[in-house]
Amino acid sequence: MENTTATSMTPPSPLPYTNTLMHTKFLLVLLPVISSVLLLLGARRGKKWPAVLGRLPHRSLRALAASHGPVMLLRLGQVPAVVVSSADAAREVMQAQDHVFASRPSLTIPRRLLYGCTDIAFAPHGPYWRGARKMSVRHLLSPARVRACRAVREQEVAALVRRVAEHGAGVVRLSELLNGFAKDVAGRIVLGVRAAGDSGWRARVDALLEESNALLAAFHVGDYVPWLSWVSAVDGTDARVRRAFQRIDRILDEIVDAAAATGGEISPSSAVEEADGEAFIHVLLSLQQKDDEAPGTAEWRLTRDNVKALLEDLFGAGTEATIIVLEWAMAELLRNKEAMHKLQLEVRRQARTTSNHSNLIREQDLPGMEYLRAVIKETMRLHTPGPLLLPHKSMEATRLGGGRYDVPSGTTVIVNAWAIGRDPSAWESPEEFRPERFVGSAVDFRGRHFQLIPFGAGRRMCPGVNLAMAVVELALANLVARFDWALPDGEPVMDMEETPGCTSWKRAPLRAVATQHYC
């Protein structure tokens, strides 16, 4: 697809002159347009779609990039999309030209499930997105607010340790425990309730996440070939989305109503000067009340639907990243006994010096644990929570590839963070789990080093990185300090494959045997 003129060139493409379809939120299916219609109609009768790029598109896209380069053009029906697969190309998109690529493409299913994309993750660049992000950082995700929730994290980690200990010599279903732990933390910080003491809350949140996650990974033909949008009505996709939204909306209404009933005494001013431990939903409702009372003075409007969209973000991305990183970290440590031993030596040495009677690692004990942070970085390098970052959209015409390739306004850009984390030009022995590579290294995952971008970078970087990492560090330190871990008898080899979809969940649930260690 290259233009031979010196002044105008499109990025190289693996399928020249072929229209293709792809779900830009990680489920990619490259098919000719006519064939896709037949396949979609066939899928209604229970047939599976053949995925030319395989069940794990981030892997297939890395293989294509090896032949076609780190800046590669795909045509998604009528939508051009550029896939970037190197640190340098990602730096162009999310740093050098961050102002150009700071928006999101408009996708039908997120728009319908997220109240017109009035969350943070999918919201287009503009005043609403800026206001929502600023508000969330100020009242929940800033370093100061994260520190203010320390007691909640320490209490929930203590509860997690107790649940593991209750298994005795039996098999611990770690995936299940970590899932509950992350939701307990989110429930207390966001809603002010604890799932372990409210089975109804847990059931509602589980239903919400199951509905939204399944559909946000679904394919809507009209996003890429508008004149084929009728296919989603014929194959049942539109009806499925409509029914799911009704259920999600009902669940969120119940959550918001319950919070309003318990937090009615909160005044609008408390949204600015909240006390430590105030649930974020009460802050949101206070801001909404303030806007309702004085809409003319509001910098941006926060409606009830906006509150519900933001809650979807917090329960989705806010819990998924925590669970995924903890699960993969424990899996890698179980496979790499030397790394497990090194980490246990570090955290247990700290546990012996702690002054608390429970012998639990506290957050104040974490700063000196360099190997702990190295293990977490190495885990996210190999198992990026979202292998393909949420798609960016160019807001004006520009160039990429050091000025070699033209990128028209409105182009979708997909960053293959998984491929970048395993790039042999950036990492020695990139397929191996080696936490030592980060010991004494300044490389971090907070958007300054583009060879490691599990949370993205620039304006659209995930704002919840501070909160997620505070939870992950404390939980992982205590799990390896308080227990010796082994695979169950009869399971000498661990399945390390990820599931298809938006996020890199471990395909086989993690199970292990924990023996208490008394520091």
Angstrom distance (rounded) from CA 82 to CA 390:
13
Q: By the 8 A CB rule, do 421 and 382 touch?
A: yes
CA 134 to chain centre: 19
Element (H, E) at 129: helix 127-136
Number of H helices, E strands in the chain: 17, 9
Angstrom distance (rounded) from CA 517 to CA 484:
6
Tokens 């909404």 correspond to 288
Q: Which of 45, 48, 49, 12 is nearest to 32 (CA)?
A: 49
Q: What is the b/e burial string over 254-291, where b = at least 16 CB atoms within 10 angstroms of the residue's CB? A: ebbebbbeebeebebeebeebeeebbbbbbbbbbbbbb
Cβ atoms within 10 Å of 397's Cβ, excluding its own:
12
Long-range CB contacts (< 8 A, 24+ apart) of 166-170? 167/514, 169/513, 169/515, 170/513
Q: Which residues pair with 106 in a beta bridge?
A: none
- Rounded to 5 degrees, what angle do the CA atoms 6, 11, 17 make? 105
Provide the 3-class DSSP secondary structure of residue 225: coil
79-84 and 412-415 strand pairing: parallel
Contacts of 384 by beta carbon, 8 Å cutoff, 6+ apart:
417, 418, 421, 454, 504
Q: Which residues pair with 315 in a beta bridge?
A: none
- Residue 149 labeled ligand binder: no
Cβ atoms within 10 Å of 410's Cβ, excluding its own:
14
Provide the 3-class DSSP secondary structure of residue 492: coil
Alpha carbons within 13 A on the beta-carbon side of 328: 26
End-to-end Cα separation, the chain, in angstroms: 63
Q: Which residues contribute to the annotated binding site for heme?
A: 462
Q: Which residues contribute to the annotated binding site?
A: 462
